[in-house]
Homo-oligomer: A and B are copies of this chain.
Amino acid sequence: MSKSYEAFVTHRQRITDVQKATAVLGWDQETNLPKDAGQIRARQTATLAGIAYELSTDGKYIDLVRSLSEDKTLTHRQQRNVAQCMRTVERNLKMSKEMVERQSRLSSKAFDSWVIARRQDDFSVYAADLQELVSLKREQADRLGYEEHPYDALMDEFEPGAKTSQLKVLFENVRAQLVDFVKEIADVQQVEDAWLYKHYPQNKQWDFTIEILKKIGYNFDRGRQDISAHPFTVDFGPTDVRVTTRVNLDDVQEALWGTLHEGGHALYEQGLRVDDYGLPTGMAISLGIHESQSRLYENNLGRSLPFWKANYHELQKVFPENLGSVSLQDFYKSCNLVRPSLIRTNADELTYHFHILIRFVIEQALISGELEVNDIPEAWNSRYKEYLGIDVPTNAEGCLQDVHWAHGAFGYFPTYSLGSFYAAQFFRKAKMDLPNMVDEIEKGNNQPLLSWLRENIHDHGQLYGAEELCKKVTGEGLNFDYFMNYARDKYSTIYDLQGMKDLIA
């Protein structure tokens, strides 16, 4: 390894050390922080964020990355690491340190007020902090620059290359095809699901989620699960990838799907190369691809009949009062009930994309200045009525339900939908590559799937871009048809939609 490249690696790993330390403070804030500790913790996090920024914009480091960009003696892998860092350097140079520290401070403050606003169902408690964050984001978009829409500049942080104009087309497409399909489902006999909303004791749910994590291959020697208000996955390197879940005593689904979802994220992070710690080839490529892993485990695997053929008996044993007399088929159907609902994280995998659509519409309007923060509740509620046909009774169940904006994450939500679509495309390819995969899942063996994902996706880190990776793995770029085919195939059976069956046949 050349001395310059070695120096580059050392510095890059130091940046990651500080970023991961900041992540430890963040994890601790959401799982363990005492009530009065928020203010001092906010300044500590802001200081670390500022230091990470300083390291990322250090003159010598930038010169090093620039000069390595011209170095043709580097291996392909090394060149890729340098190129990805050059991209980040250029982005960072456009942001001021003051701006980075301001975002960190504002986010901590907004997180605290969001917690209170949500608890008290009082949007006004949070509005001023959120407005400050939105103003900052507009400012950032201007500094980062964009060709078509300021929102593009923000999305680029999460899904490099994504464009508002393309997403508008995609979501129009989604809506056009999904609306009719969901309508068709609504017109037929609904499946029952009352058993999912009986009393499920905390400890038994918790223990079952731990078992689920083990079953899908999550490595507890490299992570842990805790409770938090909003489930999330965070990594401090591939040897420490933590998930959180929340347990709802009256709805077994929150913990179940939450754990499978975060578990999928965590498997990606646990599958990155330890030797590439701190380097792009040791990091996830985009949030869309990240979400493809969580969605795949939550929906394509977790809400599938084969998965529950292997695991339903266990679930029945843990909750005999609630599920003892419910058949596998009925349970499977109830897990896939399609019904417009208020809470995104509890939504079925079809109407889910309406939730994202609404956030996408609101976010890009906030950033372009067409919408102001105080108008969010009305914009939110009217669109839930329009797209999902439901009334939002409280802001706590409406625009206060998600933590993302409090974290300053604008341009993040669309990656959730991208993830589902990638997931359908990847899962289909895995089934084609591994003809026995579904049989193994039915036997409780999820290892072949994980091995396939490790080899085809996790192990590459940022060696390939998201779209490039999709092509490499499946032979073509992201194609929404795979999601629609998956949806039609699965739900026409569950809902016994004859027309659909004919169409597929």
Contact = CB atoms under 8 A, between A and B. Distances in A.
A20 B24 CA distance: 12
Interface in A35-49: 35-37, 39-41, 43-44, 47-48
A48 B222 contact: no
Interface in A15-65: 17-18, 20-22, 24-25, 28, 32-37, 39-41, 43-44, 47-48, 51
Given A36-B239, A40-B236, A236-B41, A51 B18 contact: yes
B222 A37 contact: yes
Contacts of A223: 34
A34 B37 CA distance: 25
Contact of A240 (B20, B24, B33): B33
A224 interface: yes
Interface in A481-499: none
Contacts of A33: 240
Interface string A235-276: 011011010000000000000000000000000000000100
A13 interface: yes
Contacts of A242: 34
Q: Which of A39, A239, A240 has its CB near the most chain B CB atoms (within 10 A)?
A: A240
Contacts of A309: none
Nearest to A18: B47
18 contacts: A14-B47, A17-B43, A17-B48, A18-B51, A21-B48, A34-B220, A34-B221, A34-B222, A35-B220, A36-B222, A36-B239, A37-B222, A37-B236, A37-B239, A37-B240, A40-B274, A44-B237, A51-B51
A277 interface: yes
A40 B277 contact: yes
Given A24-B24, A41-B237, 9 more contacts: A14-B47, A18-B47, A24-B28, A28-B28, A34-B239, A34-B240, A35-B221, A40-B274, A44-B236
Contacts of A274: 40
Interface of A is mostly: helix
A28 B24 CA distance: 8
A89 to B, nearest CB: 20
B32 A44 contact: no
Contacts of A17: 43-44, 47-48
Interface of A: 13-14, 17-18, 20-22, 24-25, 28, 32-37, 39-41, 43-44, 47-48, 51, 219-224, 236-237, 239-240, 242, 274, 277
A104 to B, nearest CB: 11
Contacts of A35: 220-222
A219 B25 CA distance: 21
A21 B51 CA distance: 12
A234 to B, nearest CB: 12
Nearest to A28: B24
Contacts of A28: 24, 28
A25 B242 CA distance: 14
Nearest to A35: B221
A277 B43 CA distance: 11
Name the 4 nearest CB pairs between A and B, nearest first: A37-B240, A17-B47, A40-B237, A35-B221
Contacts of A219: 36
A227 to B, nearest CB: 13
A203 to B, nearest CB: 12
Contacts of A222: 34-37
Contacts of A40: 20, 236-237, 239-240, 274, 277
Contacts of A22: 21
A242 B223 CA distance: 22
A14 B22 CA distance: 14
B224 A32 contact: yes
A10 to B, nearest CB: 10
A275 to B, nearest CB: 11
A219 B37 CA distance: 12
A36 B218 CA distance: 13
A23 to B, nearest CB: 10
Given A41-B236, A41-B240, A25 B34 contact: no
A17 B41 CA distance: 9
A27 to B, nearest CB: 8
B24 A221 contact: no
Q: Which of A51, A224, A277 has its CB near the most chain B CB atoms (within 10 A)?
A: A51
A237 B33 CA distance: 12
A35 B240 CA distance: 9
Nearest to A16: B44
Nearest to A19: B44
B237 A37 contact: yes
